[in-house]
C-alpha cells in the first residue's frame, strides 16, 4: 500500500493504517520504517495517534521517531495533542543523549510553538547556544 500508485490507493486510505500501532510482531526497525513512511505520506493524518506516539517512545530510534512524533503534532483533539506532545518531550529527552540532527530542532521548535516550553531547556550536551526558537 505504501508503494502503490496514489490513483489506485489514495493517501487518505493510509490514514486507517494507525492500527499498526498495535502490531508487536515486527522488529523495531521494520515498524519504525513502515510507520514513518506512512506518516510522511499522510503528513501525520492517521488514526490512533496516541498509540503511535506511545510506540515511538517505546521503539525509540534516533532520527526516525523524532520526525514521526513531530508529524503527529497536528490538528488534534486537545487531549490527544497533549498526549502526543508529552511523548514528544520524552523522545526529545532521549534524543539529546545522542548526536542530534535537524529533526531534533524541528520537533523542539514545534513543541515550543504549541506552548510546551519545557522543550526550550532540551539541548544537546554541551550546546549552550540560543537557537532563537523562542
Q: Give the pLDDT confidence score for residue 126 in this predicted structure.
A: 57
pLDDT tens digits, one per residue of 66-86: 999 999 998 788 999 999 999
Does pLDDT of 65 surpass 80? yes
Does pLDDT of 125 surpass 90? no
116: helix, strand or coil: coil
pLDDT tens digits, one per residue of 6-60: 777 777 878 877 888 888 888 989 999 999 999 999 999 999 999 999 999 998 8
On average, the pLDDT of the chain sits at: 86
Across 99-111, average pLDDT: 92
Q: Give the pLDDT confidence score for residue 105 in this predicted structure.
A: 95
Across 102-108, average pLDDT: 94
For the chain, domain boundaries: 11-121
Across 100-114, average pLDDT: 93
Across 93-111, average pLDDT: 91
Percent of the chain with pLDDT over 70: 91
Cα–Cα nearest to 18, from 42, 77, 58: 42
Q: Which DSSP string corresponds to 2-60?
A: TTS-TTTS-HHHHGGGGGGGG--SS-HHHHHHHHHHHHHHHTT--S-HHHHHHHHHHT-
Q: Give the pLDDT confidence score for residue 129 in this predicted structure.
A: 55
Model pTM score: 0.84
Amino acid at each position: 500500500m505504501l508503494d502503490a500508485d496514489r490513483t489506485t490507493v489514495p493517501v487518505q486510505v493510509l490514514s486507517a493504517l494507525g492500527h499498526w500501532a498495535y502490531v508487536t510482531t515486527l522488529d523495531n526497525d521494520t515498524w519504525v520504517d513502515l510507520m514513518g513512511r506512512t506518516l510522511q505520506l499522510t503528513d501525520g493524518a492517521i488514526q490512533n495517534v496516541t498509540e503511535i506516539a506511545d510506540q515511538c517512545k517505546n521503539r525509540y530510534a534516533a532520527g526516525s521517531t523524532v520526525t514521526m512524533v513531530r508529524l503527529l503534532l497536528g490538528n488534534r483533539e486537545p487531549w490527544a495533542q497533549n498526549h502526543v506532545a508529552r511523548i514528544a518531550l520524552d523522545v526529545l529527552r532521549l534524543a539529546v543523549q545522542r548526536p542530534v540532527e535537524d529533526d531534533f530542532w524541528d520537533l523542539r521548535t514545534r513543541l515550543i510553538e504549541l506552548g510546551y516550553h519545557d522543550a526550550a531547556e532540551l539541548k544537546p550536551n554541551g550546546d549552550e547556544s540560543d537557537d532563537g526558537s523562542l
